[in-house]
Structure 1
């Protein structure tokens, strides 16, 4: 028997959030959208996800308003961009508690300072929005050979589309 997708009996905001982003693969799709992945084929090759699962997750994210489909591209909406602090903190949590090596670190483009675990620039003393961040390869980045991974090895600004 398949598990349901909702938490109807849970009277909780976290339960509502998990109904949107709590299924397997969903947060990785959102992460890749921040990295500039926009095309179905690029999500497919980079995530190595079953085609039907990717299609269902992208449709659910679009139906909820996290992504919008623009021609062949899937683009984060303002609502989707608000997930950045969640993704960043969850990755930092894994580094701190699960001995995960950082696959990426993020630099404030305005001043060149690496942001801290809470997303704040030490030099500017403010939380930096994703559009003002540049992603750099970290020590835990695996050297995968798919075209998206190769592109993402180089420093690149978040939310700027990549093209394979």
Structure 2
């Protein structure tokens, strides 16, 4: 009975294009972006640790924002900021639907719904601070970083391996 209260963690397996949260595993698309690959940029969700935000819903589309842990190990980047250690890209997400580079896009909407139930059923909302990179150019924050005044909420953690 107690295990119902334990957090469900998620793992994104870059080499097999799968994501597992708790007992549910779903297939994911290989992100498009041949032009990005030619420039040597990785189109899959970068390796590392993320926090999964609360479910966002807009116009029949639902997704989770992913907040990447900073390279320094302290704190997380905001979903909307450009991330210096990742070629100044951001907006990493977890969803079913349009196949977007840098996101984890599930092939099957029904599998995504099962993933949502896993993530939401066994987890608690926790608040955490996020950082913004101000003016990201050439992998540095030219105007520094700042702690955003508003908290974000997250449900659980995801590791991209």
Q: Smaller-chain TM-score range? A: under 0.3
* TM-score normalised to structure 1 length: 0.26
Which structure has the highest helix share of the two?
Answer: 1
* TM-score normalised to structure 2 length: 0.27
Which structure has the highest strand share of the two?
Answer: 2
Higher relative contact order (CA 8 A, sep 6+): 2
